[in-house]
Amino acid sequence: METIGFIGTGHLGYPIAENLVRAGYKVKIYNRTREKALPLEQLGAVLVDTAAAAAEKGGVVLSLVADDAALEAISTDALLEVLGPGGIHVSMSTVSPDTSTALSLRHQAQGVQFVTAPVFARPDAAAAKLGNAVISGPAAAKERIKPLLLAGFAKNIFDLGEDAGSANVLKLIGNFMIAASIELMAEAFALAEKNKVDPKVAYEMLTTTLFAGPVFRNYGAMVIDRKFTGSPSFGAALGLKDMDLVLQTARRSYTPMPMAQLVQSRLTTILAKDVHDADWTSLAMGALDDAGLTY
């Protein structure tokens, strides 16, 4: 089976890399903190010490790192040189569309194709291959890497066309909608609680009818159960980074988004108060705290 490279085995990258190893791919893994990838070596992966060392001439490298700077840092000239013509870099990180556009041009200059494929899935959903992929980039490259996305985390793949940044735009829109839904439920359930309506009953009624669907159902349960901290699978700092990207994209395209500003502000408060081990669901603490409720 094909040898592929995988860069970034964080909370989300790890289960995806593991799925690929278990699917039978020969996976060369680079992670900044080598220790975190060690268990994957036991499963048969090969750990390497640089991004470039994860690549093969004309091969595929998938990367999933924390932010724009990290993506730029691993997209070295050495990596592009090894991949070379026919090689593909699949960028799964949630970054700015502008970063993807710029990186796509740099890759093209070396004959490497750049596919943007951000991940809609929390780590457990990725592990179960129940995630959703949105992809954009050159058509032939997308076709070649689709099996990797399906083997790695995706139940569904949505094609956004050729433009490198398009998949990032949709990923940012999705994350904005999730964050705004968390705030919306926090306000709604606070109103219930302050008016002697059991928020659990409100949650059950609303998320089995009008608001059926995974985001309201799953994040709603976290809001109801006050599951804001502990072992974050998507931390508040990452959530804030994403809302920064949403507002940066909105600012550049002249799109006022007052709800995005509100959730950015909520997440900023979580960072300001240095809430320990905060999941991004902790943004719900703002509305609860404002209403004098404990959590």
Measured distance CA(182)–CA(242) in Å, rounded: 15
Which residue lies nearer to its own copies by CB, 30 or 216?
Answer: 216
Which residue lies nearer to its own copies by CB, 70 or 180?
Answer: 180
Which residue lies nearer to its own copies by CB, 6 or 219?
Answer: 219
Which residue lies nearer to its own copies by CB, 23 or 157?
Answer: 157
Other beta carbons within 10 Å of 34: 14
171 is an active site residue: yes
- Minimum CB separation of residue 206 from its own copies in Å reads 6
Per-residue contact flags (x/-) with its own copies for residues 19 to 58, judged by CB under 8 A:
----------------------------------------
Which residue lies nearer to its own copies by CB, 4 or 134?
Answer: 134
**How many residues does the structure list for the chain?**
295
- Minimum CB separation of residue 71 from its own copies in Å reads 19
Active-site residue (options: 28, 129, 171, 241): 171
Among 16, 48, 178, 243, binds its own copies (CB under 8 A): 178
- Point out which span in 1-9, 17-25, 41-49, 249-257 binds its own copies (CB under 8 A): 249-257
Q: Is 162 in the site for its own copies (CB under 8 A)?
A: no
Per-residue contact flags (x/-) with its own copies for residues 101 to 140, judged by CB under 8 A:
-------------------x-----------x-x------
Among 145, 206, 243, 278, binds its own copies (CB under 8 A): 206
Q: Is 223 in the site for its own copies (CB under 8 A)?
A: no
Strands 88-91 and 113-116: parallel
Q: Is 191 in the site for its own copies (CB under 8 A)?
A: yes
Nearest to 158 by CA among 175, 142, 172: 142
Are the C-beta atoms of residues 19 and 43 closer than 8 Å to each other?
A: no
Question: 231 is written with which tokens?
Answer: 């072992």
Q: Which residue has the tokens 């750049």?
A: 114
Other beta carbons within 10 Å of 28: 20
- Minimum CB separation of residue 179 from its own copies in Å reads 10
Q: Is 224 in the site for its own copies (CB under 8 A)?
A: no
Which residue lies nearer to its own copies by CB, 112 or 172?
Answer: 172
Binding region for its own copies (CB under 8 A)? 97, 120, 132, 134, 156, 158, 160, 163, 165-166, 169-170, 172-174, 176-178, 180-181, 183-185, 187-188, 190-192, 194-197, 201-202, 204-206, 208-216, 246, 249-250, 253-260, 262, 287, 290-292
**Residues with active-site annotation:** 171
